[in-house]
Amino acid sequence: MKGTVLYGPRDIRFEEREDPKIVEPTDAIIRMAVTCVCGSDLWPYRGLQPIDGPTPMGHEYCGVVEEVGSAVRSIKPGQFVIGSFATSDNTCPTCQIGYQSSCTHREFMSHAQAPLLRVPLADGTLVPTPGVPKDDLLPSLLTTSDVLGTGWFAADAANVKPGSTVVVVGDGAVGLLGVLSARQMGAERIIAMSRHEQRQKLAREFGATDIVTERGDEGVARIMDLTHGLGADSVLECVGTQDSMMQAIRSTRKGGYVGYVGVPHGVELNGEELFFSHVHLHGGPAPVRRYLPKLIDLVLNGKINPGKVFDLTLPLDQVAEGYRAMDERRAIKALLRP
Ligand SMILES: [Zn+2]
Ligand SMILES: [Zn+2]
């Protein structure tokens, strides 16, 4: 088969690789239905995150099980399955309290921008759908593997409740689906921070009630204007830079919550400012596995349509164009069809 490999900054290749095989008896091999490029793939693509030699890419996946190892019990060949970007046994004490993305046996997935994928800890990691879903549901189902699960965790970690006032920092796929998640959780007011017209439009479709185009101190001042000088109950930080993190903390009301899911790049917090900000901070790699059954259900029942974040669809062998389009912000998120 051919798969996607990053060689260095902006050097992505779709090249011949060995077919994945069962390595551990708890593995499964799946045939990819659809996969995609993630915003987080852009950090190494842009050379902002060092790589250790040629790196197989891709961690968002869904497809049909081809083969399972001898110790796999619940997952069967022929099932359509979705898994998180982080593998989990789903049985250890950390998994049992719902933090599967910090499972003692966690591995971060890669190699998914390919037609075949080995998934470790298949029983704990994968969630089957009832039957094989229709083709038009595939983009939305794929989002549950990471971006929707991550946006949902951001909203959950930020304690979004019916009636909440919510701010979402970041207008990438995760931020946009953070808006959708906050809407599902009953937020009354959702302020999306975005200066990109196309993304503002989608944010409104997903449930944003206000758009703030300013950033930094001006952005915070706008949020204060909109919230009677108090700040928001819940703020979703979906970027991971120093500026976005500070914008999130400073936009939160005293006693409010920041849910941070942007992978931090150079973020440092000042202890004194944090102390007097009086906010709850909760975040990290989203425990997508915890939310998968619920999110799959919402998609299959037509309650949500998160697949709208894919505004570019390409054949898998044109994956390099998917990276380019996202890097140049011509696309929010690129769907890849094997
Ligand atoms: Zn991702
Ligand atoms: Zn575990």
Query: Which amino acid type is present at position 289?
Result: R
Q: Which ligand is nearest to the CA of 151?
A: 1
Q: Which ligand is nearest to the CA of 103?
A: 2
Q: Which ligand is nearest to the CA of 96?
A: 2
The b-or-e profile of 20-56 (16+ CB within 10 A means b, else e) is: bebeeebbbbbebbbbbbbbbbebbbeeeeeeeeebb
Q: Which ligand is nearest to the CA of 334?
A: 1
Q: Which ligand is nearest to the CA of 35?
A: 1
At 7-35, the pLDDT tens digits run: 999 999 999 999 999 999 999 999 999 99
CA of 20 to the centre of ligand 2 (A): 24
pLDDT recorded at residue 178? 98
pLDDT recorded at residue 337? 98
CA of 176 to the centre of ligand 2 (A): 29
Residues of the chain above pLDDT 70, percent:
100
CA of 87 to the centre of ligand 1 (A): 13
CA of 98 to the centre of ligand 2 (A): 9
Q: Pull the structure tokens for residue 264.
A: 């931090």
Q: Pull the structure tokens for residue 144.
A: 């549950």
pLDDT band of residue 276 (cuts 50, 70, 90) is very high
CA of 12 to the centre of ligand 1 (A): 17
Three-state SS across the chain? CEEEEEEECCEEEEEECCCCCCCCCCCEEEEEEEEECCHHHHHHHCCCCCCCCCEECCCCEEEEEEEECCCCCCCCCCCEEEECCECCCCCCHHHHCCCHHHCCCCCECCCCCCCEEEECCHHHHEEECCCCCCHHHHHHHHHCCCHHHHHHHHHHHCCCCCCCEEEEECCCHHHHHHHHHHHHCCCCEEEEECCCHHHHHHHHHHCCCEEECCCHHHHHHHHHHHCCCCCEEEEEECCCCHHHHHHHHHCEEEEEEEEECCCCCCCCCCHHHHHHHCCEEEECCCCHHHHHHHHHHHHHCCCCCHHHHCCEEEEHHHHHHHHHHHHCCCCCCEEEEC
CA of 96 to the centre of ligand 2 (A): 7
pLDDT recorded at residue 76? 98
pLDDT recorded at residue 112? 98
Q: Which ligand is nearest to the CA of 290?
A: 2
CA of 335 to the centre of ligand 1 (A): 12
Please state, in angstroms and rounded to a whole number, the distance separating the CA atoms of residues 251 and 192: 12
Q: Which ligand is nearest to the CA of 142?
A: 1
Q: Which ligand is nearest to the CA of 40?
A: 1
Q: Which ligand is nearest to the CA of 100?
A: 2
CA of 233 to the centre of ligand 1 (A): 27
CATH top class, domain 151-283: alpha beta
The CATH superfamily label for domain 2-146+287-337 reads Medium-chain alcohol dehydrogenases, catalytic domain (3.90.180.10)
Average pLDDT taken over every residue of the chain: 97
pLDDT band of residue 211 (cuts 50, 70, 90) is very high
CA of 148 to the centre of ligand 2 (A): 21
Please state, in angstroms and rounded to a whole number, the distance separating the CA atoms of residues 144 and 305: 11
pLDDT band of residue 153 (cuts 50, 70, 90) is very high
Q: What is the mean pLDDT of residues 266-291?
A: 97
Query: Which amino acid type is present at position 259?
Result: G
Q: Which ligand is nearest to the CA of 98?
A: 2
Answer whether 187's CB lies under 8 Å from 151's CB: no
Q: Which ligand is nearest to the CA of 61?
A: 1
pLDDT recorded at residue 60? 98
Answer whether 44's CB lies under 8 Å from 54's CB: no
At 61-100, the pLDDT tens digits run: 999 999 999 999 999 999 999 999 999 999 999 999 999 9
Please state, in angstroms and rounded to a whole number, the distance separating the CA atoms of residues 215 and 240: 14
> What are the two backbone dihedrals, phi and then psi, of residue 291, each rounded to the nearest 5 degrees?
-95, -15
Please state, in angstroms and rounded to a whole number, the distance separating the CA atoms of residues 28 and 155: 31
At 164-204, the pLDDT tens digits run: 999 999 999 999 999 999 999 999 999 999 999 999 999 99
Q: Any idea where the domains of the chain sit in the sequence?
A: 2-146+287-337, 151-283
Please state, in angstroms and rounded to a whole number, the distance separating the CA atoms of residues 323 and 11: 10
CA of 278 to the centre of ligand 1 (A): 31
CA of 260 to the centre of ligand 2 (A): 22
At 37-57, the pLDDT tens digits run: 999 999 999 999 899 999 999
CA of 111 to the centre of ligand 2 (A): 22
CA of 108 to the centre of ligand 2 (A): 13
Residues of the chain above pLDDT 90, percent:
99
Q: Which ligand is nearest to the CA of 113?
A: 1
Please state, in angstroms and rounded to a whole number, the distance separating the CA atoms of residues 73 and 40: 33
